Amino acid sequence: MNQYFDNNENLESNIVENKVKVLDTDFYMYTDNGVFNKKGLDFGTRVLLENIDIENKYSFLDVGCGCGPIGFYILLNKPDSVVDMIDVNNRAIKLTKMGLKKNHISAEVFNSDAYSNVEGKYDCIITNPPIHVGKNKVYEIIRGAKDHLNANGELWIVIRKDQGAKSLINDNSDLYNFEVVNKVKGFWIIKGCLK
């Protein structure tokens, strides 16, 4: 079975234009077969965006951007910010680029397996991590953020309690001071600051 993080060029395409509203921010997001957001905005992502503090931050990295909702929300709320968006799914990257155009915003969008193609450092790294890829990859994303955060940078994560929120905190507390910013219907919004 193909998973949303696979690249399957043969999968039939059925692109849908979704109108999304998060708090006061309206944007468009294109979804398709073979990508995470096939059914529109994920509830966990919504909760993350409703809770994230993007004030006093200028550069952002959206890790596992999918169809782009996190980066879109940031750019629409902070038009002067610089946002990079990465994913391993080429179809997701294409949909993110379409969404950027439609929303009249711009970002660098590129294929990167975790941070393999990322060179810069950021004030904020945000992820709704690809749990289904497995714990090793999720931890690579969490731990690798350390090398791509500016001093005082923040790592923001949404993860369900039953998908390992507590162990994620325990297992990575050697690198970050974590704060659980909110818990909504089993989704934990976690902020990590470098130790």
Ligand X SMILES: C[S@@+](CC[C@H](N)C(=O)[O-])C[C@H]1O[C@@H](n2cnc3c(N)ncnc32)[C@H](O)[C@@H]1O
Binding stretches for ligand X (CB under 6 A): 4-5, 36-37, 42, 45, 63-66, 69-70, 86-89, 92, 113-114, 128, 130, 133, 137
What is the closest distance, in whole angstroms, from the C-beta atom of residue 2 to ligand X in the complex?
12
Considering the complex, state which of residue 176 and residue 187 has its C-beta at the smaller distance from ligand X.
187
- What burial class does residue 176 get, using C-beta atoms within 10 Å of its C-beta: 0-12 exposed, 13-18 middle, 19+ buried? buried
Considering the complex, state which of residue 36 and residue 176 has its C-beta at the smaller distance from ligand X.
36
Only one residue has tokens 């919004």, namely 189
What is the closest distance, in whole angstroms, from the C-beta atom of residue 168 to ligand X in the complex?
14
| Residue 43 DSSP SS3 | helix
Considering the complex, state which of residue 17 and residue 151 has its C-beta at the smaller distance from ligand X.
17
What is the closest distance, in whole angstroms, from the C-beta atom of residue 88 to ligand X in the complex?
4
Angstrom CA distances, 91 to 19, 32, 98, 116, 176, stand at 19, 8, 11, 19, 33
CB contact at 8 A, 47 and 182 = yes
Considering the complex, state which of residue 4 and residue 178 has its C-beta at the smaller distance from ligand X.
4
Only one residue has tokens 């660098």, namely 108
